[in-house]
Amino acid sequence: MIKLHDKYFKPFLSEAQILAAVKSVAQKVAADYKDETPVFVGVLNGCFMFVADFLKEYQHPCEVSFIKLSSYQGLTSTGIVETLLDPPDNLEGKSVIILEDIIDSGRTLKELIHLFNNTNVKEYKIASLFYKSEVYNGEYAIDYIGIDIPDKFIVGYGLDYDELGRNLREVYQLNEKHMINLVLFGKPGAGKGTQAEFLKDQYNLKHISTGDVFRYNIKNGTELGNLAKSYMDKGDLVPDEVTIKMLQDEVEKHTDASGFIFDGFPRTVAQAKALDEFLKTKEMRIDATLALDADDEVLIQRLLERGKVSGRTDDQDESKIRNRFEEYNQKTAPLQAYYETQGKYHSVNGIGAIEDITRRLGKVIEEL
């Protein structure tokens, strides 16, 4: 994903796909014009990369010229097409092939047709690298087309969003749904892990559970695992600097994710602050903290039941569980105020059927 001005764009066409399309347009034009000397007229600004690559593929006699039209401002076509650079005046009797980077509504094309109808060329044809058949008004025939693309705003390979992105070798598409990053908040046993499993599929998010990462490290006997084990065995929190570093590494491993669910992190105000600062460096942010509310006695019973099945030693001993709750009350509970001040705290009843709780969380997410 890339960011231009205030918008995010995701990869859409690779350089290889684009160059293959350019080559196919050049071959089709060559089949019709290689025995004469056509004039290729590029439509500035967006066409410059297309014209350059097209000419590298078109190795027959030809002339090149440019005209300049302007219709886009930001993401939407203004409907007003201005001619900023007129067609050359030595086109008499020549075959002209107009090279457009993209044809969408057809407004610019109408202006082009108007311009060339007023010249005394032998004939003129239209070649467009990209073409949005879904929205094209169909008024004029387009003679050569590279790739038919969906009606999404694109940048790259000469095309811009408010002048940025023209130098990208690939084409990117506007990412209309902004990334969502969620914190799942709640005491041990509140159902954070269970709910994260459903939400990650529903919203295509990457689930990071710091508890799971620690357990994975313990199982594999890593240095981090050995360090964390001594704290986890007692039901204490692992020190902030260790946990924060580990969390950052996990996020870095998944930079292509369309969002994250943080489960079991942050658990201290220092972690929450570190998370905000870290996300800021990635132009990301927490969108919401979803708290699963449940009564302590219900949670203790749930954890003891879970301990019988999962084998987690910290779930099998009531005094360790109570210590985890103590850690929560002292160190994690203050995060409620931290996120409330940011207007991001949403609490959801965590008692009931799993699917009902997923629905409650989904309702909050949909309204974000």
66 is in an annotated binding site: no
Check the annotation: does 238 bind a ligand. Answer: yes
**Catalytic residue chosen out of the listed positions 192, 200, 206, 360:** 192
What x-and-dash track marks residues 216-255 binding ligand AMP by CB under 6 A?
---------------xx--xxxx----x------------
304: tokens are 């003891």
At a CB cut-off of 8 Å and minimum separation 6, what does 160 contact? 45, 46, 166
Stretch that binds ligand AMP, among 33-41, 80-88, 141-149, 265-273 (CB under 6 A): 265-273
* 26-48 CB burial, b ≥16 within 10 A, e <16: beebbeebeeeebbbbbbbbbbb
State which of residues 267, 284, 291, 361 lies at the interface with ligand AMP (CB under 6 A): 267
Which 3 state secondary structure label does DSSP give 288? strand
Within the chain, what is the greatest distance between any pair of CA atoms? Answer: 94
Q: Which of 165, 186, 211, 307 binds ligand AMP (CB under 6 A)?
A: 211
Which CB, 100 or 314, lies closer to ligand AMP? 314
DSSP count for the chain of H helices, then E strands: 12, 15
Residue number, 143 or 212, with CB nearest to ligand AMP:
212
* Choice from 50, 157, 265, 345 touching ligand AMP (CB under 6 A): 265
The span from the CA of 11 to the CA of 5, in Å, is 17
Residue 311 C-beta: closest distance to ligand AMP, Å: 13
Instruction: Give the per-residue contact string, 270-299, with ligand AMP (x = CB under 6 A; - = no).
Output: -x----------------------------
Report d(CA 123, CA 119) in Å as an integer.
10
Q: Report if residue 195 touches ligand AMP, rule: CB under 6 A.
A: no
For the chain, report the end-to-end CA distance as a whole number of angstroms.
21
For residue 186, state whether it binds ligand AMP (rule: CB under 6 A).
no
Query: Which residues fall within 8 angstroms of residue 283, CB to CB, at 6 or more apart?
Result: 3
Asked whether position 128 contacts ligand AMP by CB under 6 A, the answer is no
Q: Is 267 a catalytic site residue?
A: yes
**Which run of H or E residues covers position 22?**
helix 15-33
Whether 169 is catalytic is no
Count of alpha carbons within 13 Å of 308, Cβ hemisphere only? 5
Q: Which is nearer to ligand AMP, 128 or 210 (CB)?
A: 210
Neighbours of 23 (CB within 10 A): 16
The verdict on 99 binding ligand AMP (CB under 6 A) reads: no
**Contacts to ligand AMP from residues 15-54, by CB under 6 A:** none
Alpha-helix residue ranges (DSSP H) falling in 181-252? 192-203, 210-219, 223-234, 240-252
Query: Is there a catalytic annotation at residue 192?
Result: yes
Footprint (CB under 6 A) of ligand AMP, residues 300-359 = 314, 324
DSSP for 103-125, written as a single string: ESSSHHHHHHHHHHHTS--SEEE
- Which residues contribute to the annotated binding site for ATP? 189-194, 306, 352
Using CB under 6 A, list all residues that contact ligand AMP.
188, 210-211, 214, 231-232, 235-238, 243, 264-265, 267, 271, 314, 324
Catalytic residue positions? Answer: 192, 267, 306, 312, 324
